[in-house]
Structure 1
Amino acid sequence: MALTRDRIRQDVADVLGEEPEDIADDENLADLGLDSVRIMTLVERWRREGATIAFVELAEEPSVENWWALLKERV
């Protein structure tokens, strides 16, 4: 499956136990309970799909919008 904005949202929802439609693009994912362990889960998942991303890049600005801006050029 290709890494898209919707896929990022789906993966985040999966690790948080939320519905994708409940996660806004600009919402701070830390406020929803996203912690470092879950971020590492996402990093590893996306690396397996070919994305070149580091934990610190995701941790600095945890939102679907920011992550998509980082990842869309790196897959």
Structure 2
Amino acid sequence: MALSEATIIADIAEAVGAAPGGVDKNAPLEDQGLDSLGIVDLAEKWRSEGEEVDYFDLVALPTAQQWIERLAGE
């Protein structure tokens, strides 16, 4: 089961302390306040929900849009 775009954005927003509407899908997540520990936390959260998520895959993709394409298949 793939993650939805809304879930990915909401979880990123929560990790950086922003509203989901405040996440710019095309800007680097690092510039929006997501650090490596935040990425680890998100990967663990999504794995605990049954998703196949690899920390190193996420680190290699700098934007939320790229995460959506990888994780939601959009």
Given residue 50 of structure 1, which amino acid in structure 2 is its aligned partner? Answer: G
Question: Structure 1 length normalisation: TM-score?
Answer: 0.86
Question: Structure 2 length normalisation: TM-score?
Answer: 0.87
Q: Aligned runs of 1:1-75 on 2, under 5 Å?
A: 3-73=3-73
Gaps of 5+ in 2: none
C-alpha separation between the residues in 2 aligned to 1:23 and 1:46? 18
CA RMSD of aligned residues (A): 1.4
Render the CA deviation track for 1:12-49: whole Å, top value 9, x for unaligned: 01010011101122121000111110000000011112
Number of matched residues? 72
C-alpha separation between the residues in 2 aligned to 1:57 and 1:5? 17
Given residue 66 of structure 1, which amino acid in structure 2 is its aligned partner? Answer: Q
Divergent runs of 4+, >2 A = none
